[in-house]
Amino acid sequence: MTFKKWFSADIPTGWGVILLRSIEVAVVAFLVMQAKEWFDARTFDIPGTAADAGLIAAGVFVLNAIWMRVNSAATQRNDPGQ
C-alpha cells in the first residue's frame, strides 16, 4: 500500500460522517478526561471537562471538513469528466 492510498483510506464521505466522528471524539474525550480528573483530584469537573471535550470535537470537525473539501477538490481536478 502506497503512502497516498494509506493517507486517503479514511477520508470522510459526507457531513453526516464528520458530525458522527466529532460526537464520538467528544464522548471519548469527555470520559477520558473525567477519569483523569477522578484519578488526580478524586472529584469530577463536569463543566470544565465538557467544555474541553467540545473544543476537541470542534477541532476534529474542522480538520475533517478541510480534509473532505481538499479531497473533493483534488478528485474533481483529477477527473474533469464528472
pLDDT of residue 41: 94
Is the CB of residue 61 less than 8 Å from the CB of residue 18? Answer: yes
- Of 64 and 2, the structure prediction assigns the larger pLDDT to 64
Name the nearest CA neighbour of 14 among 67, 75, 56, 58.
Answer: 67
Name the nearest CA neighbour of 46 among 33, 55, 59, 60.
Answer: 33
Q: Domain boundaries in the chain?
A: 13-77
pLDDT in tens, 29-79: 999 999 999 999 999 999 999 999 999 999 999 999 998 888 887 777 766
Is the CB of residue 63 less than 8 Å from the CB of residue 55? Answer: no
pLDDT of residue 51: 97
